[in-house]
Structure 1
């Protein structure tokens, strides 16, 4: 299974979304909340409390 680019959570088959940048890099998102936080709001996963990357750092 693939992990979410933002939250680090596993994405179940048949769910989630893939965003491909102009450079050809694929970004995987579990839900719209992760996609919006990463792309539109420019949040960093390390500083977002609900992401697994924040929890691992603490």
Structure 2
């Protein structure tokens, strides 16, 4: 059975075999669907304030 993951930043589901897994020194695991999501995470942006993420759309009342 293939594991399905969700992008840590934007909240979109990842297709099996795609994306990138990032493991921090403290053992926490982050999954990214694209370099766009990873660079926004590296810039310490909050997903609630970014309009195109699921959390951002929910915060704006669009979904």
User: TM-score, normalised to structure 2's length?
Assistant: 0.86
Using the TM superposition, give the Cα deviation of residue 57 of structure 1 relative to its aligned residue in structure 2, in angstroms: 1.9
Match runs of 1:13-24 below 5 Å:
13-24=16-27
Unaligned runs of 5+ in 2: none
Whose strand proportion is higher, 1 or 2?
1
Q: Distance in 2 between matches of 1:57 and 1:50?
A: 11
Residue 26 of structure 1 corresponds to 29
Residue 43 of structure 1 corresponds to 45
CA RMSD of aligned residues (A): 0.7
In the TM superposition, structure 1's runs of 4+ consecutive aligned residues that sit over 4 Å from their partners are none
Q: How many pairs does the alignment contain?
A: 57
